[in-house]
Amino acid sequence: MDPELGQEVPVDGIHKALRQLWAQDEARTNACLINLAVYSEEKGSLQKNSAIVRDLTREHACRALLIEMDRGAKDASIRAWITAHCHLSGGKKSVCCEQISFALTGVSRGRLRNTVFAHLTSDLPLILWWQGELSPIFEERLYAVIDRFVFDSSDWSKPHVSFAIIEQALSSGRVLVVQDLAWTRTYHYRLAVASLFDDPLAQRALPHIESVEIEHHPKHRNSALQLLAWLAVQAGWRTGLELHLAVAKKHGNREGFSFERKTGEAVAATLLSNESSAPLGRLCIRGGGMEIVIDRAPQSSHIHMRLSVGDHVTESLAPAGCDDCGMLIGEQLARGGKNSLFLKILPMFRNLLDG
Amino acid sequence: MSNPFREDLVSRTRPEACTVVIFGATGDLTHRKLVPALYNLALDGELPPGVKIIGFARREKSDEVFRQGLEELNRKVSRNGHDDQVWASFAPNIHYHQSEFTDDDGYKRLAETLDAIDRDRGGKGNRLFYIASAPEFFDDILSHLKKAGLNQAKEGCWSRVIVEKPFGTDLKTAQHLNRVVSQTFHERDTYRIDHYLGKETAQNLMVLRFANAIFEPLWNSRYIEQVQITCSENLGMEGGRGGYYDKSGALRDMVQNHLLQLLSLVAMEPPTDLSADGVRDEKVKVIRSLRKWDTPEKVAANVVRAQYIKGSVSGKVVPGYREEDRVDPESMTESYVALRLMIDTWRWSGVPFYIRVGKQLPKKATEISVHFKSPPGVLFNTTSMNATGGNVLAIRIQPDEGISLRMVSKIPGTSLRLEPVKMDFQYSTSFGKASPEAYERLLLDAIAGDATLFARRDEVEEAWKFIDCIEHAWHQEGSTVPMAEYVAGTWGPKEADDLLHEDGNSWRRL
Chain B closest CA to A272's CA: distance in Å? 23
pLDDT tens for residues B302-329?
999 999 999 988 778 999 999 999 999 9
pLDDT score for B125: 87
pLDDT in tens, B459-479: 999 999 999 999 999 988 777
Choose the closest CB to B85 out of A87, A192, A302. A302
DSSP string, B169-223: SSHHHHHHHHHHHHHHS-GGGEEE--GGGGSHHHHHHHHHHHS-TTTGGG-STTT
Q: How many CB atoms lie within 10 A of CB A90?
A: 12
Residues sharing a CB contact under 8 Å with residue B505, sequence separation 6 or more, in sequence order:
B225, B226, B352, B354, B371
pLDDT computed for residue A27 by the predictor: 55
Residue A111: pLDDT over 80 = no
Q: Which of B31, B97, B195, B258 is catalytic?
A: B258
Chain B partners of A204 at a C-beta cutoff of 8 Å?
Answer: 1
Question: Does B228 have pLDDT greater than 70?
Answer: yes
How far apart, in whole angstroms, are the C-alpha atoms of residue A234 and residue A58? 36
More confident residue, A121 or A349: A349
CB A195 within 8 A of CB A235: no
Q: In whole numbers, what is the pLDDT of chain A averaged over residues?
A: 88
For residue A344, how many other CB atoms are within 10 A of its CB?
Answer: 16
Residue A305: closest C-alpha in chain B = B49
Q: Chain B interface residues facing chain A, Cβ-Cβ under 8 Å?
A: 1, 3-11, 14, 16-17, 42-45, 48-50, 85-86, 89, 120-124, 156, 400, 426, 428-433
Q: What is the mean pLDDT of residues A301-309?
A: 92
pLDDT for B189 equals 94
Q: What is the pLDDT at residue A246?
A: 47
- Per-residue pLDDT band at B392 (split at 50, 70, 90): very high
* CB nearest to B432's CB, from A59, A197, A315: A59
Residues, chain A, total?
A: 355
The arrangement of strands across the sheet holding B190-192 comes to B94-98, B52-57, B19-23, B127-131, B159-163, B190-192
B85/A344 CB distance under 8 A? no
Q: Does the beta-carbon distance from A317 to B9 stay under 8 Å?
A: no
Contact B45 A93 (CB under 8 A): no
User: CB neighbours (10 Å) of residue B181?
Assistant: 23
Contact B4 A236 (CB under 8 A): yes
CA distance B420 to A261: 67
Query: Is there a contact between A307 and B49 if contact means CB atoms under 8 Å apart?
Result: yes
pLDDT per position as a tens digit, A157-189? 999 999 999 988 888 777 788 999 999 999 999
Which of A87, A195, A230, A307 to mutate to probe the B interface, most B CBs <10 Å?
A195
B258 an active-site residue?
A: yes
Mutate to test the interface with A, among B425, B429, B433, B444 (most CBs of A within 10 A): B429
Please, what sign has the CA dihedral across residues B92, B98, B101, B105?
negative
Which helix (H) or strand (E) segment holds residue A203: the answer is helix A200-205
First-last CA distance in chain A: 51
Partner residue facing A89 (CB), from B11, B123, B428: B428
pTM of the entire structure? 0.80
CA atoms within 13 A on the CB side of B1: 15
Query: Do B48 and A89 count as a contact with CB atoms less than 8 A apart?
Result: no
Q: How far is it, in rounded angstroms, from Cα B434 to Cα B282?
A: 30
Q: What is the average per-residue pLDDT within B7-18?
A: 76
User: What is the pLDDT averaged over residues A299-315?
Assistant: 89
Q: What is the pLDDT of residues B410-451, one digit of tens each?
A: 777 777 777 778 888 877 767 766 778 889 999 999 999 999
Q: Do B9 and A341 touch (CB under 8 A)?
A: yes
Q: Do A234 and B123 touch (CB under 8 A)?
A: no
d(CA B432, CA A57): 8
DSSP letter (8 states) at residue A13: G
d(CA A148, CA A167): 14
Q: Print burial letters for B430-443: b (CB count within 10 Å at least 16), e (below 16).
A: bbbeebbbbbbbbb
Residues in chain A within 8 Å Cβ distance of B41: none
Closest CA to A67 of A34, A102, A100, A42: A102
